[in-house]
Chains A and B, each alone.
Chain A
Amino acid sequence: MDLLQGTLDVLILKTLSWGPMHGYGVARWLQQVTDDILSIEEGSLYPSLHRMEKRGWIEAEWGLSENNRRAKYYALTPTGRKQLRAESASFTTFSTAVVKVLQATKLAT
């Protein structure tokens, strides 16, 4: 399933809202939560992460992973949290609208 760029950002932001995580952690989390339905190409997570870092939505810091390896951790910034709220609100509006259209079509038949 293809994902819109903005959609992937919202998903990542939402994932990070539970706490700082490294890129692999984000990928695994998304995979578990969605039962791998989205089957996101994992490589595409990283440009998204770095772009959001550049915009100041998330910040990165090197730390040690659960298995004691050096890993880059990402955490939501206040701006990122605000962004997440705004994006998820508009995404909800959007998806509600889409659902409405789809259901309306069914009713009219």
Chain B
Amino acid sequence: MPNKSPSWRRYLRFWGSDIDSDVADELKFHIESRVQDAIAGGASEEQAHAEALKRFGDVERVRRVLTSLGKEIETERRRSDWLGELAQDLRVAVRSLRKTPAFTLVALITLALGIGANTAVFSVVNGVLLRPLPYPNADRVAILWDAMPGLGYAKGNISNAEVIDVRTRTSAFDAVGAFRGYGGTLTGSGEPEAISGLQISASVFDILGTPAAMGRVFTAEEDQRGRDGVIVLADGFWRRRFGADPKVLGRTLLLDGTPHVVIGILPASFALEKADAYIPLAMNTDSLVQQRSWHNFKGLVRLKKDVPVKQANAQLGALAASLRSEYPLKYPRDMGFGMFVQPLQDALVGNARRSLLVLLGAVALVLLIACVNVANLMLARAESRQREFAVRVALGARGGRLVRQLLTESTMLALVGGAAGAMLASWGVRALLAVSPGAVPRSDGVHVDGVVLLVTLAIAVMTGIAFGLVPALHAARPELQSVLRDEGRGASAGRGRARTRSLLIIAELALAVVVLTSAGLLMRSFWRLQRVGAGIAPDNVIAMQLSVPRASYREPEKSQRFFAEVVERVAHLPGVRDAAAAYSNPTKGFSSWDIELEGRPKSPGEADPSPIPQFITPRYFAALGIPLIAGRFLGAQDDNPAAPAVVINETFAKRLMPNGAVGKRFRVSGTKEWMTVVGVAADVKMLGPAEPPKIEWAANLSASALVGGAIRDMWIVARTSGDPAAIVPAARRELWAMDPNVNFADVSTMTDVLSQSVARPRFTMLLLASFAAVALVLAAVGVYGVIAYSVSQRTRELGIRMALGARGGDVMRLVVGQGIGVAAAGIAVGVIASLAATRLLGNLLFETNARDPITFISIATMLAAVAMAASFIPARRATKVDPAIALRE
């Protein structure tokens, strides 16, 4: 047998193979041996060389063949080595995890919660923020806004004249369109139904590039007055109302009494704003084209290829500047008029972005906390496996192999935990969205899909490495001798590990503080939101939208009489205490009219105040429970068209009539009649308490003809003594007794309306609070684990202390003191980190300081108490140490 090669050569394979020199050595050996033999046989050296080379053939060719073969062999060997080791690691991992079912179960639950929460939040982020809109060129589609910062509108609707200006006077856009909401009543097939639709210009379809799923969308020719009797149905409405019947195509529907032919059905993915149906905007009449101050449309544009949003906005800024100088009366200097585009995706997502990113950050911290806990469990487990590792090292396992073994175990745990987490998440996301409707935009596209699962896989692998690495590195260098001689317990290695565990717990507590303070701040902010309230008494109030068709209610008096009678009939239903109707539904969009105040001439460049008008039936304030602040409410005696009386809101009074409002007069710009303020009512904030206060005034419905023409949409509210929803069928019967071709829409209780207005803050707060709860439990478990472990390590020492006369109380103080020390360090680090981190909450906080001392102090105190309680349990066990037994061990 040949001698073995020196063992160091094996290590060469770590740094890459030395195939080239191996091949050269082998061939050189052959030729030189041949030469030596020939010389020994009597040949001259020269002859021997020539002969050897001749016998060998083409050395270079052989060398090339061998080198490439050698590389193949090397690759194959590595792969099979690796696979073999992996299979071995997996076998060992499964065996050892099954031997410790309690550890495995706790670790898996922790990981499933941590990874599952991340998967759930990521699936929401993916569906809302990352998922592209289902339109070709979606990244170039944007909403066109007006800005009137001087009037308090950072972004607002645009007028038709402005749409035309943008179309003709800028070069940044392929196409410019407009749309607006439209409420109408559909009759002619079954029960009349009030639908919410969109009036859109034909170019909107072109901009979005979505063809109809069936039939067609309307053309530019049909987008004109007189030819606009066409309608395109949304997928959901088509399924709900017509049972997905394809024969509805070509049928004529009556929308507010006007015939519209169904020409197409849109695909389900089409979503601009929530709508049942789409009809032409038909803006081509002269009077509409001229409208410059009637800001009633949303603009939709598609940017030209390679034109960035910034450049488009620069063009719009320049256009706004020239419009300001061309129409100084329409755009007074103080208005600060401007125009800009906002990418459609941003517009749809709105301010949900920050909420979601904060949640994503918080949930990542929770996962880190989970990692720390599992790492601690693994460290404790590694203690009991010291002998196993030492034996393996003694038998020749390299440190690297042990690290790999432990990382295989941790990654396997993380993958199994991740799989369970993904299941939790797919169930949890559905539950989450079900309990918080409307909290997140675009939520229809939130699923645990392939992308989400891939990310979960990546998270699981990273998690496995994150919590496995520290224990693995520790285990890889066991103190061989002492462990094998069975002196392992209490030796210096244990102390090193204890320090690592304490550091991990400090980090864990710090992370928990960050999550808890963020949640605490949001809870405080939400509490403030709730306390501010909407300014109304929402209990037992039902709200319904009612529109009447233009064709049958052309005269203002007729529609006024109709609405007044509806209110009258509803008010007399059994169980109804008050009923009223209002022109402007505060939860929907609103328009504002310029006014002039009596006795206050306007200086040039000054913008007119532009409050929101409201027209009501007399019991409006009573029905909603809006408190009176000064003067009186409106009554029937105020129905004087020549001198209407109005009630203004508090903000109106404070801003425009600071020296007492009652008795003052103002009029709508362009009208003659002065209106007298008879009362001041409290502000109403139905869009959510965080909404900035608006300037509003209200007059009797009879005044509407004078200033605003006919009103055909009203918001009916009724206060009841019992369940408000119970009166709806009776109200509907009363309505149909008057006119069978109309119907109520958007029927909901006021409590639902208000809870909708805080749906997002509640969603963010509840999620963050539940993450905080998980963080708190994990932190408590972590502290408990470390203290319990340290007690078990110190049994001997504690026994000696007690044998020497220490009492239970002393031992208790010692152990709990250790817990408090760790907790204090963790909380201190956490508070400092939180001071920086909570600033990211930004505008999610309502009237709450991101460094709110009360929140910080309560969170720190709570965590300290929890840490103390968690160390109390092992401390009690420590006092029960029997010195005799402890010393014998």
Q: Which residues of A contact B (CB under 8 A)?
A: 20, 22-24, 27-28, 41-44, 46-47, 50-51, 53-54, 61-65, 67, 69-73
Contact B27 A46, beta carbon cutoff 8 Å: yes
**For chain B residues 58-72, which have a beta carbon within 8 Å of chain A?**
58-59, 61-62, 65-66, 69-70, 72
Q: List 18 A-B contacts (CB under 8 A).
A: A22-B26, A23-B29, A27-B30, A42-B34, A43-B56, A43-B57, A46-B27, A47-B62, A50-B73, A61-B2, A63-B5, A64-B2, A69-B29, A69-B33, A70-B5, A70-B29, A71-B29, A72-B26
Alpha-carbon gap, A16 to B37, bound state (A): 21
**For chain B residues 1-29, which have a beta carbon within 8 Å of chain A?**
1-5, 9, 22, 25-27, 29
Residues of B close to A64: CB separation below 8 A: 2-3
Contact B62 A43, beta carbon cutoff 8 Å: yes
The 8 closest A-B pairs by CB, nearest first: A63-B2, A43-B57, A62-B5, A41-B57, A43-B62, A50-B69, A64-B3, A24-B30
Alpha-carbon gap, A54 to B65, bound state (A): 13
Alpha-carbon gap, A70 to B22, bound state (A): 10
Besides A43-B62, A46-B27, A54-B76, 6 more A-B contacts (Cβ < 8 Å) are: A24-B33, A28-B37, A54-B73, A63-B3, A72-B22, A72-B26
Residues of B close to A27: CB separation below 8 A: 30, 34
Residues of B close to A50: CB separation below 8 A: 65-66, 69-70, 73
Alpha-carbon gap, A23 to B691, bound state (A): 89
Residue of B nearest to A21 (CB): B2
Residues of A close to B58: CB separation below 8 A: 43
> B55 contacts the other chain (Cβ, under 8 Å)?
yes
Contact B73 A53, beta carbon cutoff 8 Å: yes
Write the B45-57 contact mask toward A (1 if CB under 8 angstroms, else 0): 0000000000111
Contact A51 B69, beta carbon cutoff 8 Å: yes
Contact B69 A42, beta carbon cutoff 8 Å: no
Nearest CB on A from B383, distance (A): 41
Contact A46 B3, beta carbon cutoff 8 Å: no
Contacting residue for A24 out of B5, B34, B72, CB 8 A: B34
Contact A23 B55, beta carbon cutoff 8 Å: no
Residue of A nearest to B5 (CB): A62
Contact B61 A43, beta carbon cutoff 8 Å: yes
Contact B25 A72, beta carbon cutoff 8 Å: yes
Alpha-carbon gap, A50 to B76, bound state (A): 13
Contacting residue for A54 out of B4, B25, B69, CB 8 A: B69
Nearest CB on B from A37, distance (A): 14
Residues of B close to A67: CB separation below 8 A: 33, 36
| Residue from A27, A51, A67, A72 whose CB has the most chain B CB atoms within 10 Å | A72
Alpha-carbon gap, A61 to B9, bound state (A): 11
Contact B29 A24, beta carbon cutoff 8 Å: yes
Alpha-carbon gap, A40 to B308, bound state (A): 74
Alpha-carbon gap, A65 to B33, bound state (A): 10
Residue of A nearest to B52 (CB): A42
Contacting residue for A41 out of B2, B25, B55, CB 8 A: B55
Residues of A close to B69: CB separation below 8 A: 47, 50-51, 54
Contact A54 B72, beta carbon cutoff 8 Å: yes
Alpha-carbon gap, A73 to B3, bound state (A): 10
Contacting residue for A42 out of B3, B56, B76, CB 8 A: B56
Residue of B nearest to A36 (CB): B55
Residue of A nearest to B3 (CB): A64
Q: A50-B70, A64-B2, A64-B3 are in contact. Are A70 and B25 (CB under 8 A)?
A: yes
Residue of A nearest to B59 (CB): A43
Residues of A close to B56: CB separation below 8 A: 41-43
Q: A43-B61, A46-B62 are in contact. Are A61 and B4 (CB under 8 A)?
A: yes
Alpha-carbon gap, A54 to B55, bound state (A): 25
Residues of A close to B2: CB separation below 8 A: 20, 61, 63-65, 71, 73
Residues of B close to A65: CB separation below 8 A: 2, 29, 33
Nearest CB on B from A102, distance (A): 31
Contact B66 A47, beta carbon cutoff 8 Å: yes
Alpha-carbon gap, A46 to B30, bound state (A): 10
Alpha-carbon gap, A44 to B69, bound state (A): 14
Alpha-carbon gap, A65 to B461, bound state (A): 49
Q: A43-B62, A63-B4 are in contact. Are A22 and B57 (CB under 8 A)?
A: no
Alpha-carbon gap, A62 to B25, bound state (A): 10
Contact B29 A22, beta carbon cutoff 8 Å: yes
Residues of A close to B70: CB separation below 8 A: 50
Contact B29 A46, beta carbon cutoff 8 Å: no
| Residue from A23, A46, A54 whose CB has the most chain B CB atoms within 10 Å | A46
Residues of B close to A53: CB separation below 8 A: 73
Alpha-carbon gap, A42 to B61, bound state (A): 13
Contact A61 B29, beta carbon cutoff 8 Å: no
| Residue from A47, A50, A53 whose CB has the most chain B CB atoms within 10 Å | A50
Alpha-carbon gap, A71 to B65, bound state (A): 19
Contact A71 B1, beta carbon cutoff 8 Å: no
Contact B72 A47, beta carbon cutoff 8 Å: no
Residue of A nearest to B76 (CB): A54
**For chain B residues 468-485, which have a beta carbon within 8 Å of chain A?**
none
| Residue from B4, B56, B72 whose CB has the most chain A CB atoms within 10 Å | B56
Residues of A close to B26: CB separation below 8 A: 22-23, 46, 71-72
Residues of A close to B5: CB separation below 8 A: 61-63, 70
Alpha-carbon gap, A24 to B73, bound state (A): 21
Residues of A close to B59: CB separation below 8 A: 43
Alpha-carbon gap, A54 to B58, bound state (A): 22
Contact B57 A44, beta carbon cutoff 8 Å: yes
Nearest CB on A from B670, distance (A): 95
Residues of B close to A73: CB separation below 8 A: 2
Residues of B close to A22: CB separation below 8 A: 26, 29-30
Alpha-carbon gap, A67 to B36, bound state (A): 11
